[in-house]
Structure 1
Amino acid sequence: MQQEEAQKKVVELREQIRYHNRKYYVEDAPDIDDYTYDILYRQLQNLEAAFPELRTPDSPTQQVGGAALPQFSKVHHQVVMESLHDSFSHAELQEFDRRVRDEVSPVTYVVEPKFDGLSVSLEYRDGIFVRGSTRGDGTVGEDVTENLRTIRTIPKTLTQPIPYLEVRGEVYMSHDSFFKLCAQQELTGEKPFKNPRNAAAGSLRQKNSQITAARVLDIFVFNVQQITGKTLSHHDEALDYLKQLGFTVSPFYKICHTIEEAIDAVEKVGSVRGSLGYSIDGAVIKVNDFAQRQELGSTAKFPKWAEAFKYPPEEKQTKLLNIEVNVGRTGVLTPTGVFEPVALAGTTVSRATLHNQDYITDKDIRIGDMVTLRKAGEIIPEVVSVVSHAPDSEPYRLPAVCPSCGSPVVREPGEAAVRCTNAACPAQLSRHLIHFVSRDAMNIDSCGPAVIEQLISKELVHSPVDLYSLTLAQLTSIERMGEKSAQNLLDGIEKSKQNDLSHLLFAMGIPHIGQKAAKLLAARFGSMSALFQADTADVASIDGFGDIMAKSVTEFFSLSATAELVGHLRDAGVNMESALRVSEDNRFAGKTFVLTGTLPDLTRVEASALIEKYGGKVTGSVSKKTSYVLAGEEAGSKLTKAQKLGVPVLSQNDFQKMLS
């Protein structure tokens, strides 16, 4: 390859890799799997090695891929949180060993799993957890202390009051927690996470730590970054000491005296990865002796004393027996492939989503085909390609009518989804009701998915309106529903009538309208009646709304079924007004509030609504730009930081005086 051609290819690869870095590290929504990314990255590395003059400091090969998000306070890492150099063959691991032994000898290695999650730093003073942060770009990360406090496997107090300790670990989501989260997201109409790594990263980087707590995250700690009050000389010694302090460390690691032993250990880790309850994407070989690590040093991006081995994704061929079509809460038809069972990455695979019609058409997937299956992220099976078509096979098309109710289906311009047009479709009822009663929607206590299914099977509810006419006698007729439980449910239903309009708008399941957009609609129009009168231009004028969202809102409120539903809910006593309506009184304009602790008479949601009503802004972290910290009982590190920075601290009484 000539230099001119190489330079063009280098520019193209860098643009692709930067884009995928942002999707993976910052947005937690990758477009490609790790294996495809690794191929792109290796191509760039090879070109820069062949043409050293093309290597520049801003190349992705010279930088860690992440970045700190603006919604969190920044943390400058005293010890850089480096990335690892990847190998894909035994020969490359042997080359790593040669480089190490050219510098230091004799050498012992520690081999341990490479966890697939989000890398974090945990800091302790006198044995107390004081701060936690993400890796970010390796030098600057995000302060996510409050969210990390919700992870039960992170010790808040160590077994020894060591003066200062900084450790590095990987926050992950177990496969069980991941599947439960995806099931809940599908029921409530949210887009499910693609894999556990993105679920863990998205859950940890939440403004609301209660959301993080509900996601059930875990951590493995694998490195000591800094320590005072204790001398450690070897990595295996450090891991043993971390276990004594109360940390969960790598569950299996092995000391190896030769690279052959290390390669054997790497293969053994690979042989069990499919049976683990969490995702790993490789194994890591580390020099055991800390003094030797110091001597070996680092490149601009990688430590020279460690090497990661990335396992290639396992692929198997099998036969596509059938394509089943399911109908979701919003009416979207989702095709699922049913295959001859095949062992793949430690589990038996017989089903995999085929996403949508475009996916099926692009790969020309037909019933009876021999296909290649792969597990993305070692957990979600996907069709990689079609090996061969069955004789007399025909291109597959999603049905023209809903498989549940027989109503016509439509595909809106610009959308991949095909939807059932019948709002009363039975397949949508269960999912729609579960979403309607969920916490961020109408927040009806004691009305979980199991109760909803029982109410439907007993034919007590056919739409959300029916919830508001349930009686104690009807509820106590349900299996395992005692009088106390039934009364609690009725109380929850009654209480939901007083919810702000924004909750009702989100509960109604307007296409393209999430919780945040529902709040903006409620604040802009103030009442349900005003929304029925709004045109597309009115809705599109809301900051953050595009043409698709605006059109979706006006089309939803033009339906006779919507008018009928709202009329019945109004008759049942459900509130149709919003306290979020933008006020002419902008006393908090330009002011930023942070809430911490428990207020005596206000929930955080209520306090936030009042602040936003008067033009203020609520954020999740304290900085020099914070105007006020509203603190209640058991206020934590946010209060401490506010006092340190001199940010005014308000009690609820102070806040109410400002309101009056």
Structure 2
Amino acid sequence: MNYEEYKKAVEELNRYAYHYYVEDNPITTDEVYDKLYHEVLAYEEKNPYQVLDNSPTQRVGDVVSEGFHKALHKSRMWSLEDVFDEEDLKKWLARIFKLDDRASFYCEPKYDGASLNLYYEGGRLIQAITRGDGVTGEDITQNARTIKTIPLKIDYEEPIEIRGEVVIFKSEFQAINEERAKNGENIFANPRNAAAGSLRQLDSSITANRNLVFLPYGIGQNTLDIPLLSKRMEFIYSLGFKTPPYRAVCKWLLDIEKVYAKMKDERDDYDMMLDGMVVKVDQIESQESMGYTVKYPRWAVAYKFPAVEKITTVKDIILQVGRSGVVTPVAVVAPTNIDGVVVERATLHNFDEIQRKDIRINDKVIILRSGDVIPKIIKVLEHERTGSEIEVLRPKECPVCGSELLDEGALIKCQNLTCKARVVNSIIYFASKQCLNIDGLGEKIVKALFDSGLVKSVEDIFSLTLEKLLALEGFKEKKSQNLLDAVENVKGCDCWRFINALGMEHIGEVASKSLCSEFGLGFMKAEKNDLLTIEGIGEEMAESVLEFVRVNEEHILRLTEILNPKIPEPKIEAKDNPFKAKTIVLTGSLSHPRGEIKEMLESLGAKVSGSVSKKTDMVIYGDDAGSKYDKALELGVRTVTEDEMKEMLDD
């Protein structure tokens, strides 16, 4: 075999594999494939410097990693807003049609697996990154290369991110669990857990043996000049990726409901697990115009399938005290298997709900679990009562510290700031990965430090010394020094991590980043109206920030001095120009990508909005301008062509 014959053999093997793994339509026998494979392998062993990147021999996992490294996505991987019924969907569609009354929708399955982002450049698979927090994930490229439904080479040279879900087919999942049981290993609870666990194996040969399947559902960074998402996905499938079992483009609610009903009714017949249907605006221009909230794209939702319900028995109701002092009742139920997950607890939210539903210990109840949502009790089977049921009384004393509780009706709070549960939970949250990420400061260590009296508040962790730690049982020198180093290393942390670690009610990672970006540490002096100008922050969140700062200002200042958080670079104020401080809407076909124009205008101090209102100062339009242009004329808003915009920029 010479080099040209070798290249043709690799191409032929990839064609065989595509028909077998992607098309589910074999075009040769295993014998023919294996014979050609070994001929290719023999050539590569003799000519190791001529091995092609897309050779099927490069899929064999033979690397054992020490760990996975963090890697940044080229563009953010967003979560999706969930809708659960037709009414929710109607509300979402109403919002969409307000922004674009000509929108149509691309519907596809919502796979229940592990999200993965593939980055190609020059037609080659360069990197594969897990979803992570949407901005940063783990580089698992070596493992991804073993997945036969991921092309190592595609017929497209430009840089592109292809997003999808890694799943394990139901038949494969059953075979894996049977093998694990035979070997005395723990079995996987469901195919999603199996897929996620298989994807993150340090030994890539294990990943290679699991028969994982990659199913594309979207595109990240790209330079595609294709105006519709449905057509873009067709292009992606044409590059050698597996197509979904069903997909459709719809215009109206009735069309979407028909597709949803078909997927819901047939989901048990699909090879992979589905937990709903994704609905996305099909027009890319409209997607860019609609933009994002702090958490989700406005132009897409996950229409979830009905949750699974089971009957179980309430064995007990226990009380949990959170870091804000709120006492939350939790139902302990008889272990119940729901869709592969054994459920032993159900949320009750508050005591008003217990009274409204008349939930009693020993009651038979129906619990509901939807996706990853914690199960909840939806109905008490009163006709099943035997007289052994015990009523649940509203607590008057904190179950942790014994102090009197403040009963505000819906909420019952422990007011004792030194309550162990409040302090411990605050420190655990403060040190968690999404906050300061203090390695080694988990629940067990925090409780030990609190019980010893060394730590009575978050600030106390910064006064720990090696001498103090070594005096505690179970603290060896290396472990203690590692903890002290981890605590020291968080000094100079990012501003948003500091804000998130404070544990303000309703303020999570996304809102913390927004506060940091807008105000830095000046969020403490922000007034309510200032907070409400930030996209995604509403009344309740703004009030939470104001109340927390009022009560804890000294505490925040002390922590600021200790940590000296890293403030982001201040925004450079734009010079005076015709667009500064103006609210602008873009519409129609423009000569440059809308994202580029939006970024340019924002750098000039403009606010680019997705919809026209009386507050709009200017509408910049291109060819085929539609309803936004008409509305601008109706409201008397200034309209500017793209050429006029360029003249204004030149001036």
TM-score (norm 1): 0.45
